[in-house]
Structure 1
Amino acid sequence: MIFEYSKEVEGGTYDTHGLDCGISLRQHKQQYREIDGALRVQREWTKLVSNVEGYQGGLADDFCFISVTVPECLPDRLEIMSYANEYAFLYDDAMEKLNLKNDKDDHANDFLSTFGNGALNPNSVATARPEKQLQAKLLLDMMQIDRQRAITSMTAWARFVQLAADTRKAPPKTLGEYMPSRAIDAGELFWFGTITFGMAITIPDHEYELCMELARPLYIALGLVNDLYSWEKERDAAAEEGQDYVFNAIWVIMNERGIGVDEAKDICREETMKVMSTYWNTVKAARNNESLSDDLRRYLEALLLSYSGNLVWIS
């Protein structure tokens, strides 16, 4: 991959706790654009939905989320990608508080309708849910930059929201059952839309299913890393909401194997390294496979940087 918009970060300035898998950290040269986008959606969410005072989201003192997970984002798309990602964080936080086990919960169904049949309609009326108004405005702004990729991204995002809601309706019993669901919940479709729009990548229709298959181990690894570092927070949040399970690999491993937290975390680390080894082999093979499109190979390479950026950001 040719690097135009990012710089490599010196290794001694961050910690990966041994999970980096040899992938360097890169950071966008224009991180200020991300800050602008994140603060803008926070202001609009506060105005239309609920107060987010003190909420940090993807922002950080040194490494903001999009700047290190999509370091080769086109500069003129970095702000809108930051807006979209911050919106997703806020929406996901709200979705985690819903009663998704109950299909008849009107509030939950109404909330999820934001990404329902009208997800590709940028003309939201003032009477629509405030979350829908913001989503429609986001789509319109993206379409003004790149109409076709905006539609591709929003289609993927809408599908992600519906699938992610389904994964949380029942607790998985085994880690083997959990990991494919975690790839969905970790945002493989959301991130597909983010990478393809942000980097102006087009995956040909005939390669789409192959793209998802090749990338899945990476998304499982992303989910496991997130579970590892967010366990305490998610455990406490589930208790506060009265949930009888935690959608987290640590909870699944503990219940499946009858072990404690520390052992479960060790197993989670081991599984992360296993799936990342699989993904590394996939990327190396793809580099020499000229039957794959250039954009598919760029996408697979970009995900390596997403892994290292997410690891540093979340830890």
Structure 2
Amino acid sequence: MTINSEEVRETTHVPVSALTEPSYGIQNGVSEPVLKTQVPKWRVPPSGWRALIHPLADEVAREVDGYFLEHWPFPNEKSRKTFLNAGFSRVTSLYFPLSKDDRLHFACRLLTVLFLIDDLLEHMSFADGEAYNERLIPIARGDALPDRSIPVEYIFYDLWESMRACDRKLADEVLESTFTFMRSQTDRVRTSIKSLGEYLEYRERDVGKALLSALMRFTLGLQLSKEELSSMRLLEQNCSKQISVVNDIYSWEKELQASKVLHEEGAVICSAVKVVADETNLSFHATKRVLWSMIREWEKVHDAMRDKLVATSSPAVSQDMRRYVKGLEHQMSGNEHWSRTTKRYTEPN
């Protein structure tokens, strides 16, 4: 299924004559028409990609959302509605549209619980958040049993046990990447980032790029060697930048509101929008426009690297590697579609 963007579209070329309207002024004592330029409304630059979504997206979302509505301790009906409106299973189906049918629900459950944990961490200090996550890590490994009276513990334990039962090798790769992501959530470096380069390096961990890629390999059943994964490093870094900044642009209003009401440390703003605005003295709106140009350039970089890889006939480039590279594109286009449409960002209240 292809999702056609309505907001992200090509700006129609308008002749200069259509951008001007006459007004009258006095020049050399004579009343003459003076052309006044009308600046066209700025639009998000179009992407050359279109998002895909898994054909079982709605079915799996109903199953996974129902599970969390039954087991997660939402404090009230409003929070339950907010959870449903966010569409965490939907973004997973956009990330991995070519997932094996019987593996998609694992990815949906994992990303959903990580989103829910992330929301909890916003209300905690770094120390409390770190302790919270560190308690979950041995449970995920299976080294410690969960307290069955604490939903997050048994949800985490049961999920990882079932993923290992499905495909232990690929599940273990997802596991280690998940720990990297969880530890980045309470990394104090986020409070002192001053440059875009430093920020993007941090966000490669915080956005969970390694997690998303490992989860993609799990859902698609891709078997890549360490050497093959190493050869994808530049593609991965480029993908991480695109996903991070797209997410930052669309989540900006939510993050700004959260910074005013949540825990001082848990809600600290860590966003490319703020970093670039501070560096350049541009307004937030102007900064977003600059960042959109960068996003589209990163997409072109991905296309160029992909084309170079696909053009080679070397037996060293496996079919799984080609599917992996295409999967990175699906992650980027899917993330943009979800970020643009989810009520988590469009209705942050």
* Bucket of the pairwise TM-score, normalised by the shorter protein: 0.7 to 0.9
Aligned in 2, Cα 1:14/1:207: closer, same or farther, shift over 3 Å?
same
Describe how 1:94-173 pairs up with structure 2 within 5 A: 94-100=120-126, 105=127, 107-121=128-142, 124-126=145-147, 130-166=151-187, 169-173=190-194
Q: How far apart, in 2, do the equivalents of 1:119 and 1:162 lie? A: 14
In 2: Cα distance, 1:114 partner to 1:274 partner: 41
User: For each residue in 1:97-147, what CA deviation from the matched residue of structure 2 results, as whole angstroms up to 9, or x when unmatched?
Assistant: 3322xxxx3x22321214535531176232796423221111011122212
Task: Work out whether 1:223 is the aligned partner of 2:244.
Answer: yes
Map of 2:231 onto structure 1: 210
- Call closer, same or farther: CA 1:135–1:147 in 2, change over 3 Å: same
Q: Give the whole-Å Cα distance in 1 for the aligned partners of 2:92 and 2:216.
A: 10
C-alpha separation between the residues in 2 aligned to 1:146 and 1:29? 22
Distance, in Å, in 2 between the alignment partners of 1:69 and 1:208 is 19
Q: Residues 245 and 156 (structure 1 numbering): CA distance in 2 closer, same or farther, change over 3 Å?
A: closer
Paired position in structure 2 for 1:249: 272
Determine which structure has more spread, i.e. the larger CA radius of gyration: 2
1:90 lines up with 2:84 in the alignment: no
Counterparts of 2:244 and 2:69, CA distance in 1: 25
**Offset at residue 96 of structure 1 (A):** 3.0
> Aligned partner of 1:64: which letter?
R
Which residue pairs with 1:16 in the alignment? 8
Runs of 4+ with deviation above 6 angstroms = none
In the alignment, which residue of structure 1 is the partner of 2:338? Answer: 313
**Matching residue of 1:301:** 326
Please report the RMSD computed on the Cα atoms of aligned residues, expressed in angstroms.
Answer: 2.5
Rate the CA distance shift 1:125–1:146 in 2: closer, same or farther, 3 A.
same
Query: In structure 2, how many angstroms separate the alpha carbons of the residues matched to 1:16 and 1:254?
Result: 23
1:59 and 2:53 matched? no
Q: CA deviation at 1:208?
A: 2.7
Residues paired across the two proteins, number? 298
The TM-score with structure 2 as length reference comes to 0.77
Q: 1:232 to 1:56 in 2, by over 3 A?
A: same
Counterpart of 1:81 in structure 2 is 107
* Maintained 8 Å contact 1:217/1:275: yes
1:258 partner letter: N
The residue type equivalent to 1:126 in the other structure is D
Q: Which amino acid aligns with 1:203?
A: L
Query: How far apart are the structure 1 equivalents of 2:138 and 2:229?
Result: 22
1:180 corresponding residue in structure 2: 201
CA distance, structure 2, for counterparts of residue 19 and residue 45 of structure 1 = 39
After superposition, the C-alpha distances for 1:27-55 in whole angstroms (9 at most, x for unaligned) are: 211121233123313432227xx564222
- What letter corresponds to residue 299 of structure 1 in structure 2? Y
2:56 counterpart residue number: 30
C-alpha displacement of 1:157: 0.9
Q: Give structure 2 stretches of 5+ with no counterpart.
A: 10-43, 341-349
Amino acid paired to 2:53: Q
SS in 2 for 1:202: coil
Deviates more, 1:214-223 or 1:17-26: 17-26
Deviation at 1:23, TM superposition (A): 0.9
- Specify every segment of 5 or more residues in structure 1 that has no aligned partner in the other structure, as ranges: 1-6
* Structure 2 CA distance for aligned equivalents of residues 19 and 182 of structure 1: 23
Q: Deviation string for 1:157-176 (max 9, x for gaps)?
A: 11221134326542310112
Amino acid at match of 2:205: I
CA deviation string 1:224-267 (max 9, x = no partner): 00111111110110121335951011111111112211111112
In structure 1, distance between residues paired with 2:310 and 2:249: 31
Q: 1:127 to 1:56 in 2, by over 3 A?
A: closer
Q: Aligned residues: percent identity?
A: 19
**Maintained 8 Å contact 1:20/1:308:** no
Q: CA deviation at 1:185?
A: 1.6
User: Structure 1 pair 279/128, CA: closer, same or farther in 2 (3 Å)?
Assistant: farther
C-alpha separation in 1, matches of 2:216 and 2:191:
30
Partners in 2 of 1:293 and 1:64 — Cα distance? 30
Contact 2:181/2:207 (<8 A) preserved: no
The residue that corresponds to 2:22 in the other structure is none
**In structure 1, distance between residues paired with 2:46 and 2:62:** 25
CA distance in 1, matches of 2:233, 2:150: 32
Q: Does residue 1:280 correspond to 2:280, yes or no?
A: no
Equivalent residue letter for 2:123:
K
